[in-house]
Structure 1
Amino acid sequence: MGYECDYRFLLEPIHGKSGELQAWELLTRYVNDATINNDRHPERDTGFFSQLPADQKWQLFLHQVEKLIQLYQTGFRQVISVNVDRDIVDGIFKDAEIQEKLATLTLMRLELSAFFTARFSSADLLTLKGVSKITPAPLWLDHFGPGYSSLTMLDSGIFEIVKIDQQFFWQFGEERTFDILLDHLNQLCRGVIIEGVENQSQADLLAHRAIFGMQGHLWESVYLDDLAAQS
């Protein structure tokens, strides 16, 4: 497929308020990236993923699934989220073979960007509900923030976790409205993760907030292959 030559898979940790490791997010990086803790930008994450042709996205997703199967077979027992979009969700819904593989990945989560849900139709919502029923992998919503958030999607109750976009956190994290938002989101899902936690001051700001976890460059990421070798 060529993916192992061009890309490497990176695991970005998600920590709880007390510092405990809660989960990981699987990201894709170019092999020639200088560091594994580089700042996110469109070429590496959501933008990079969305710019791939549908068939390449699907092949990349299949490769990620195979990598996770191998990792979990070593005895690894921590939650890992994998980014998907409408093409991947539609593919899962139609592919019995991948459904069988996902059935073995009870600690995997499918993470859908709010960039995509903002344009989802009622038919797409039905597809998401269908996927949530045929696979054990709960759905997470990424990049929740102004301009990209679908309240219809949240009200559907299909998301286990909602991640608040880092720009939204940086702009409003110290305001009372941020706590009101957290209270509302916690009524619609099982927990909220705050993205963009870059330093201890930001982590301290969230110490008494109603959140499930925090994610950002305050914590060191690891390559999937390196973690697999240690398991």
Structure 2
Amino acid sequence: MQSVTRGYPGHIFEPIVTASGGLLGFELARKSQKVESQQNSCGYEHNLSPEDKVKVFFNQVTLACVNANIFIDNDFLLSINIDDDIACHIVSNTAIRNVLQQHRFIRLALDQNFSEFSEESPRKVIRSLSECCTLWLDNFGAGSTSLSLVMNESFEYIKVSESFFWQHQGTQSFRKIIEHLTPYCQGVIVKGVENAQHVEYLNGSNIRAMQGILWTSYNQEELIQSFFSNG
């Protein structure tokens, strides 16, 4: 455990909190990735080469495996954001697909910029990904997603983007969007929750969970100290 703490110091576990105040799980991200994501609603670091992205993903999956008992024993889910480069690597790599199949608490979150989200795409990569791991849709409402996409693909959870929430918070139109999404997934997760007023805005909305800086993220050591049990 300690060697992983030293080896991957830049990773954080960001809580995903249910509407009732419990923990659905975490998003595993790099600190630098989260800074960029908050600035432009982008789910991945575009300054990284495809090879470096794959290395980051490998580190994330390694962290997930090291902490497997925490997620299994507490019934937590762990989402990891991926883009086209990582998705293609997963599809072509039998070993990583086997790891994902063996660790069923891992979720792959596809960002709204994923190339196969265009209407004319046959979505072969998405189909292959779904065979080895449960998929989430990230950043719905940020510009490149649609209700048609949600209706025609199978996403376990749909995460509404910070920008969409901040723009429409407390409005009837926001509640209607949640109502439209809910029948096509197991629940909607709202990102960008920063204060008690945001939580108040979401009271009464049919959402599954919330995510944002209102809840403190955990590093590897803090995750172990808070949730690891020896049985």
**TM-score, scaled to structure 2:** 0.84
Which one of the candidate residues 170, 189, 199 is aligned to 1:193?
A: 189
Q: Quick one: distance in 2 between partners of 1:167 and 1:43? A: 9
Aligned pair in 2 of structure 1 residues 72, 118: CA closer, same or farther (>3 Å)? same
Shift of 1:83: 0.7
**TM-score, scaled to structure 1:** 0.84
The residue type paired with residue 15 of structure 1 is V
Instruction: Write out aligned runs for 1:64-75 (5 A).
Output: 64-73=60-69
Shift of 1:55: 0.9
- Cross-structure match for 2:145: 149
Query: Are the equivalent residues in 2 in contact too, given 1:118–1:148 (CA < 8 A)?
Result: no
Shift of 1:76: 4.8
Q: Which secondary structure state, in structure 2, belongs to the residue aligned with residue 220 of structure 1?
A: coil
Q: How much is the aligned-residue C-alpha RMSD, in angstroms?
A: 2.7
- Cross-structure match for 1:53: 49
Query: Are the equivalent residues in 2 in contact too, given 1:118–1:149 (CA < 8 A)?
Result: no
Aligned pair in 2 of structure 1 residues 50, 64: CA closer, same or farther (>3 Å)? same
Aligned pair in 2 of structure 1 residues 27, 55: CA closer, same or farther (>3 Å)? same
Q: Which runs of 4+ in 1 moved over 4 A?
A: 4-7, 37-40, 42-45, 73-76, 117-124
Query: Are the equivalent residues in 1 in contact too, given 2:117–2:123 (CA < 8 A)?
Result: no
Aligned pair in 2 of structure 1 residues 83, 225: CA closer, same or farther (>3 Å)? farther
Q: Quick one: distance in 1 between partners of 2:27 and 2:48? A: 20
**Deviation per residue, 1:178-213 (Å, 9 max, x gap):** 111111101221110011111111102112111000
- Cross-structure match for 1:91: 89
Q: Quick one: distance in 1 between partners of 2:85 and 2:143? A: 21
Shift of 1:79: 0.7
Greater mean alpha carbon deviation, residues 67-76 or residues 94-103 = 67-76
| Greater per-residue helix proportion | 2
Shift of 1:56: 0.9
- Cross-structure match for 1:223: 219
Which one of the candidate residues 147, 155, 159 is aligned to 1:159?
A: 155
- Cross-structure match for 2:208: 212
**Deviation per residue, 1:155-189 (Å, 9 max, x gap):** 22321111111111111121111111111101221
- Cross-structure match for 1:114: 112
The residue type paired with residue 159 of structure 2 is K
Query: Are the equivalent residues in 2 in contact too, given 1:17–1:214 (CA < 8 A)?
Result: yes
Structure 1: gaps (5+ residues):
none
- Cross-structure match for 2:27: 25
Aligned pair in 2 of structure 1 residues 96, 40: CA closer, same or farther (>3 Å)? closer
Query: Are the equivalent residues in 1 in contact too, given 2:26–2:78 (CA < 8 A)?
Result: yes
Which one of the candidate residues 173, 177, 192 is aligned to 1:177?
A: 173
Percentage of pairs with the same residue: 28
